[in-house]
Amino acid sequence: MTIPKGWVSIEVKELEDLPCLRFAEKPERTSSWRLLKEKVVDAGICSHCGTCTICPVDLIILEDRPLDFDPKKGCMGCGVCVAVCPRYKYVPLNGVGDYIEALAGKSKRFVGQDGAMVSEFMASALEMGVIDVALFVARDEFFRPFVVHVRSPEELLDRKITGTKYSFASVMPELHRIIKRGDRIGFIGTPCMISGLRKVQEKIPLYKKNVPLAVALFCTENFYWHQLYDFLKERGADLREAEKTDITKGNFIVTFRDGSEFTIPVKEMEEIVPEGCHVCQDFSGVESDVSIGSVGSDPGFSTVLVRTSVAKKVLDFMMKKEYIETGKAKMKIVQRLCDFKIKIHPYSPEEEKGEESEKEGSKE
Amino acid sequence: MVKVVKSPKKGLVRSAIGHFRAITEVAKVVVNPGTITVHYPRERRKYPENFRGMIMFEKEDCISCFRCAHICPANAIQMYPDDEGRYYPGIDYAKCIFCHFCVDSCPTAALKQSKIHDVAYKDVDSMSVTPEEMDNVPEIVREDAVTVEYDFDRDIRLVKRKEVENLLVEVDKPERPEFKAVPQYGENCIGCRLCMFSCPVNAIRSKLEETKVILETDYDRCTGCGICVRICPTEVLILTPVEREGDHQ
């Protein structure tokens, strides 16, 4: 047995635009946490993806409010939060991105937001053995999102797990928590979470090994749960009674248990769109293995953009087992939405804020 | 119907035989007393080596692995920090149920059993013993000069020996595979240095080289306690058994 003498941590050379201290016995003004605070959180471009919760001393925790942390509580200045932050030295990704195959799909087994293709994709991956566990977001009686581990396709029959919540969920902290277990994890997230995941994977090979499948959801913006809840309550829609939320054709639609609907234009929701979403141009999750969303397909179908060979294998498996009905995806509409998101969310390092927002966009 | 129970008929001969038997029994005991009562504290039973008495502690052997504190079902063990940043167990005998799980779980036999069980405490506070006090053998008043042992050969019999038993037990240090925390996946390291801070024997050192943190393990010091392996957030360190001395390095 050969025992290596020393081991070397990830390089943080790219952080060196401030005279930053790589490690400190106690946090100082020059420690690397400051980069995250100044360049990301205070600059208002934090996407609330939660990648920085990798923090080894659990100083950064993800809550239902803008990111905030106190380095005096034990920060060691390791700089890993900055090293993995997708919004540090932010270069916006945009467009549809490369894909191998584009189609519209509808699951025969599950009921979801539209075609329930995310559930179907993960269920098939679990069946194939590509992944051991998938991180899904379920909701409680207040429509509050929380993360659940799904280990068998049957668990996805629960309607509380499938369907969109339109609020930030702590998927990333959960991923960091279970990454050492050795299970292969299927990851579902908004494009910003996928960017975070890819950055972690690039820095830390452990994540590359343990997260073989990452599914992106089409996304124009996401909300804090308490803001969304209060906002809708003020306008007379109680999320406690809701069964489904949806964004279609520029309207936020809440469907209640008794069948009635509440509709509000997304334009009017501008006040509760988080700051970080104003600079995001990635509609389709360019870096993911597969992107799924309702845009660009008929009602009841979901658009699926397969980008990597892993996802292609899962898709072939689904086709072979005839779990899905397929249709044709209208890539023009997806392309239009991508362009639209670039238009409404302009970003340049000099800092510009997008004024208006919205249009149709939906995430499953 | 009530059943009437009559006393058995006693003849003169029968009662005479009964009395005679009783008198012989008394005479036997007068000549050769066969009591099986132990006259504690003048006599003391001979206890087996694995008697679960008060728990002894040797600070030198302790690797601060926390196993005793984690396993204690009565939550009687508290880990006290010392000046060097290491932690040592202290037992609260008010809570201790003497299950000796801690002794069994101790990988280095720093905690070991003894045959002392009759310690008196003046108040509840003094029952919680700090690691410093655990080094000392608890004080007891000994009046015993005789060790008593039960003999189960045919009848229960007492065997008395004129000897004073040593209540402390010598335990062989367990032979166990030697482990070292080896950085198997150095590429995963994020440079948080939690391993360095957590290492109880200061086997891990770090230095800064430009923007990289370089950590180094001193394998001569590493005791293989596994604290760093557990605390590492990205699975850099793996506890690896060392096959033979001289095999490594």
Alpha helices (runs of H) in A147-219, residue ranges in sequence order: 171-178, 191-203, 205-210
Residue A130, SS3? coil
The one-letter code for the residue type at A11 is E
CATH code for the part of the protein at B43-161: 3.30.70.3270
Taking residues A116-133, report their average pLDDT: 90
Q: Does residue B154 carry a pLDDT above 80?
A: no
Q: Which domain holds residue A61?
A: 18-90
Domain termination site, one of A45, A68, A90: A90
pLDDT of A10 reads 64
Q: Does residue A166 carry a pLDDT above 90?
A: no
Whether A139 and A283 share a structural domain: yes
Chain B residues within 8 angstroms (CB to CB) of chain A: 180, 182-183, 185-194, 197, 206, 208, 210-217, 219, 233-236, 240, 242-243, 247-249
Max Cα–Cα distance, chain A, nearest Å: 68
Q: Does residue A241 carry a pLDDT above 70?
A: yes
Q: How confident is the model at residue B171 (pLDDT cuts 50, 70, 90)?
A: confident
In a domain, A244, yes or no: no
Least confident of A127-131, A348-352, B215-219: A348-352
pLDDT of B245 reads 53
How many Å apart are CA B27 and CA B15, to the nearest integer?
18
pLDDT of A1 reads 47
**Given an 8 Å threshold on Cβ–Cβ distance, is A80 in contact with B187?**
no
Question: Which residues of chain B have a CB within 8 Å of the CB of A179?
Answer: 234-235
**Residue A206 sits at the chain B interface (C-beta within 8 Å):** yes
The percentage of residues in chain A with a pLDDT greater than 70, rounded to a whole number, is 87
Whether A48 and A129 share a structural domain: no
Q: Does residue A246 carry a pLDDT above 80?
A: yes
Whether A168 and A276 share a structural domain: yes
Question: Which residues of chain A have a CB within 8 Å of the CB of B240?
Answer: 1, 3
Question: Which residues of chain A have a CB within 8 Å of the CB of B248?
Answer: 1-3
Neighbouring CB atoms inside 10 A of A84's CB total 27
Whether A189 and A334 share a structural domain: yes
Taking residues B212-224, report their average pLDDT: 79
**A193/chain B closest Cα distance in angstroms:** 19
Most confident of A1-15, A255-269, B15-29: B15-29
**Given an 8 Å threshold on Cβ–Cβ distance, is A78 in contact with B193?**
yes
**Given an 8 Å threshold on Cβ–Cβ distance, is A5 in contact with B217?**
yes
Whether A149 and A26 share a structural domain: no
pTM of the model: 0.70
pLDDT of B163 reads 84
Domain termination site, one of A36, A58, A90: A90
Q: Which residues are within 8 A (CB) of A131 and not within 5 positions of it... i.e. 6 or more apart?
A: A122, A125, A183, A184, A185, A186, A212, A213
Domain termination site, one of A90, A123, A147: A90
Most confident of A264-273, A312-321, B135-144, B207-216: A312-321
pLDDT of B70 reads 92
The two structure tokens encoding residue A147: 């993360």
pLDDT of A361 reads 39
pLDDT of B72 reads 94
**B230/chain A closest Cα distance in angstroms:** 10
**B173/chain A closest Cα distance in angstroms:** 26
Whether A50 and A106 share a structural domain: no
Q: Does residue A333 carry a pLDDT above 90?
A: no
Whether A27 and A72 share a structural domain: yes
The partner residue sitting opposite B191, judged by closest CB among A2, A16, A23, is A23
Taking residues B114-134, report their average pLDDT: 89
pLDDT of A27 reads 60
The partner residue sitting opposite B183, judged by closest CB among A4, A22, A79, is A4
**Given an 8 Å threshold on Cβ–Cβ distance, is B219 in contact with A3?**
yes
The one-letter code for the residue type at A341 is K
**Residue A77 sits at the chain B interface (C-beta within 8 Å):** no
Q: Does residue A262 carry a pLDDT above 90?
A: no
In a domain, A276, yes or no: yes
The answer to whether A322 and A105 have CB atoms below 8 angstroms apart is no
The partner residue sitting opposite B248, judged by closest CB among A3, A9, A83, is A3
Q: Does residue B103 carry a pLDDT above 50?
A: yes
Whether A274 and A156 share a structural domain: yes
**Given an 8 Å threshold on Cβ–Cβ distance, is A206 in contact with B185?**
yes
Taking residues B216-242, report their average pLDDT: 81
Whether A130 and A55 share a structural domain: no
Whether A39 and A184 share a structural domain: no
The two structure tokens encoding residue A187: 């990851």
Whether A72 and A123 share a structural domain: no
- The H or E element spanning position A334 is helix A331-344
In a domain, A155, yes or no: yes
C-alpha to C-alpha distances, A65 to A41, A72, A85, A168, B17, nearest whole angstrom:
12, 20, 18, 9, 97
Q: Does residue A362 carry a pLDDT above 60?
A: no
Whether A275 and A337 share a structural domain: yes
> pLDDT tens digits, residue range B58-81?
888 887 788 899 999 999 999 998
The two structure tokens encoding residue B69: 């504190």
Q: What architecture does CATH give domain B178-242?
A: 2-Layer Sandwich (3.30)
In a domain, A185, yes or no: yes
Look at chain A and report how many structural domains it folds into. 2
Least confident of A83-97, A108-122, B82-96, B153-167: B153-167
> pLDDT tens digits, residue range A62-84?
888 888 888 777 777 777 888 88
Q: What is the CATH number of the domain that holds A55?
A: 3.30.70.20
| Of the candidates B221, B218, B234, the residue with the CA atom closest to the CA atom of residue B184 | B234
Q: Does residue A195 carry a pLDDT above 70?
A: yes
Supply the mean pLDDT for chain A. Answer: 82
> pLDDT tens digits, residue range A264-278?
888 888 888 888 888
Most confident of A33-37, B46-50, B209-213, B240-244: B46-50
Residue ranges of domains in chain B: 43-161, 178-242
- Say how many residues make up chain B: 249
ipTM for the complex shown: 0.72
pLDDT of B93 reads 92
In a domain, A232, yes or no: no
